[in-house]
Copies of this chain bind each other. A is one copy, B any other.
Amino acid sequence: MHKRGLIKSVSTTINDIAKVANVSPSTVSRVIANNSRISKETSENVRKIMKEMNYYPNMIARSLAIRTTKIFAVMVPGDAEKTFLHPFFPEVLRGITAASYRNDYKVLISGVSDVTEEKKVIREFTRGGIAEGIILMTSRVADPSIEELTKLNFPFVVVGKPERDKEINWVDNNNYAIGYELAKHLVDQGHKRIAFLGVCPEFYVTVDRMHGYKQALKDSSLPVIEDLIIKNKFREDNGYDLMQRLFDIGKKPTAVIACDDLLAFGVLKSIAEHSLSVPQDIAVAGFNNVPLSEYCIPPLTSVEVNPYGLGVKAVELLMADINSEHKSFDRAIIPAKLVIRKSTVR
């Protein structure tokens, strides 16, 4: 046998075990795999020797042999700097890892900073035979990664309803419905001038929530006042600025819905600076129910979207796709829950 220098401490292999146990490598392999056709004695003896020699199977070799890696890869969006600061993403990730491990899958995460690089990484993960499935953490408009994966006919699922939502696995909340529900709650509190802050055309989630909000107003025979709808670059602008803009226009609302709790915090600050109080003068609500919403002053009404559940479900769809005979596509709507707190209740 040839051996290169002292590259690394060569560990014991199935052959070493076989030699000592006086059986063939095949038998050792079968013992590891718990193959039922191996006699109890042989099995026990081999096991004993494996233990003595401190043997552990090489997963890479096994992967090559069985052509299965048991690895999922999750692609964090390229502009992760800002994105990842939002508690939503770590929570999704936590759901993904938990569910993956439950299914005996490992998870590889990307750390690329731009879209071109992401494409390269996706190619390595998929064509390189490393991952068996991909989870896209955000759906962008005209997402090149979705294109790539579709073209490759590779199992993947996206978190957040994608632009082209047919023949693609995805999980999301019903953002239209929760936008509707939150607006309805404020209408029920007697509000007629409800502002909506933080719409960003690039993110469907905000647009869908806004549509729900509009419909709720219509269903309550309230006018949709376009001046009360403030756009922004989602998660780049801050809620303080958006609210200031609203004050500047001179169109004070009696309630404001922010597309995200983090924006709502800025809204609270802006309102405080105008010596107005929440909820007496202006009611405020957000989405995503971040951990701090419960503790801010006053506690913030929000919508729990269950990011952990989104992550778990994403993995389940992926598993289904991988294990199905013919290509399967599915979507999953994760239930969200309105959490009413002091910021909207007088």
Please report A residues at the B interface, Cβ cutoff 8 Å: 7-8, 11, 56-61, 63-64, 67, 69, 71, 76, 80-81, 84-85, 87, 89-91, 93-94, 96-101, 106-113, 121, 123-124, 127-130, 238-240, 262, 265-266, 268-269, 272, 291-292, 295-297
Contact = CB atoms under 8 A, between A and B. Distances in A.
Contacts of A121: 101
Best-buried of A8, A69, A128 by chain B (most CB within 10 Å)? A128
Nearest to A59: B128
A97 B262 CA distance: 25
B60 A238 contact: no
Given A85-B87, A87-B87, A97-B111, A59 B130 contact: yes
A265 B58 contact: no
Contacts of A100: 111
- Residue from A113, A272, A291 whose CB has the most chain B CB atoms within 10 Å: A291
Most buried by B among A108, A111, A112, A272: A111
B107 A94 contact: no
A295 B64 contact: no
Given A60-B130, A87-B87, 11 more contacts: A57-B128, A58-B128, A59-B124, A59-B129, A64-B64, A71-B108, A84-B91, A85-B90, A97-B109, A238-B295, A265-B296
A241 B333 CA distance: 37
29 contacts: A56-B123, A56-B128, A59-B124, A60-B60, A60-B63, A60-B64, A60-B130, A61-B64, A64-B64, A76-B97, A84-B90, A84-B93, A85-B291, A90-B90, A96-B111, A97-B109, A98-B113, A101-B110, A101-B121, A106-B130, A107-B111, A108-B109, A240-B295, A262-B292, A265-B292, A266-B295, A268-B297, A269-B295, A269-B297
A51 to B, nearest CB: 13
Contacts of A113: 98
The 6 A-B residue pairs with the shortest CB-CB distance in the complex, in nearest-first order: A97-B111, A56-B127, A59-B128, A101-B111, A90-B90, A58-B129
A94 B81 contact: yes
Contacts of A59: 124, 128-130
A112 B99 CA distance: 10
A97 B74 CA distance: 12
A107 B238 CA distance: 32
Nearest to A266: B295
Contacts of A98: 111, 113
A237 to B, nearest CB: 12
A7 to B, nearest CB: 6
A85 B91 contact: yes
Contacts of A110: 97, 101
A94 B90 contact: no
Nearest to A129: B58
Contacts of A89: 90
Nearest to A89: B90
A297 B267 CA distance: 11
